[in-house]
Amino acid sequence: MSLTSSSSLSPPYGAHPTIVTDVQAPGDTESSACSLYLHYSLPPILFVDPYELDMRQQQYTVVGLKGKGARELEKPVHALPDEDGIEVILKTDSVVEQVQLPIHVRYGKPTFNTSYVVQPLDAPTVVLACSSSVSRS
């Protein structure tokens, strides 16, 4: 069995959804020293609250948080200094079945003739890292 994952938003609407990533790891990782790494590339209209992430230290460690939007938590997307997205890398100390990343939606650029904007969002890249003692089948 190989590493597989699937992600969704919960709820799939609103200003404070959570990216829920379900992970299915190979069976031989359960007793090994393995960690999961999840790399998220968020578009400028989305951001994470670093203080909220600090409250999840028992679930995962924030290994990387990059992007100017990560410091400008309350600004609308069109008021950011540049429209770079945010990169987030999380690490779990064991293989878990689900990782939840709470996100926030910024106020978007004003539009005419529409009441909402659809924003594509890529699933995170999930990497399984194990010590060299893991048996191969």
Domains and their CATH numbers in the chain: 4-107+123-130 (2.60.40)
pLDDT score, position 134: 45
Rounded Cα distance, 21 and 123, in Å: 8
pLDDT score, position 132: 64
pLDDT score, position 111: 77
Residue 122 has phi, psi (to 5 degrees) of -75, 145
Residue showing tokens 């069109």: 78
pLDDT score, position 137: 38
How would you write the pLDDT of the chain (137 residues) with one tens digit per residue? 689 999 999 998 888 999 999 998 887 666 568 889 999 999 988 989 888 899 999 999 999 988 766 667 778 888 777 667 889 999 998 888 999 999 998 888 777 877 777 888 999 999 998 876 544 43
DSSP track, 61-104: EEEEEESGGGT-TTS-GGGSSS---EEEEEEESS--SEEEEE-E
- Identify the bridge partners of residue 4 per DSSP, sorted by sequence position: 24
pLDDT score, position 30: 63
pLDDT score, position 11: 93
List the structure tokens of 125.
């890249």
pLDDT score, position 136: 46
Angle formed at CA 18 by CA 130 and CA 5, multiple of 5 degrees = 35
Rounded Cα distance, 88 and 26, in Å: 25
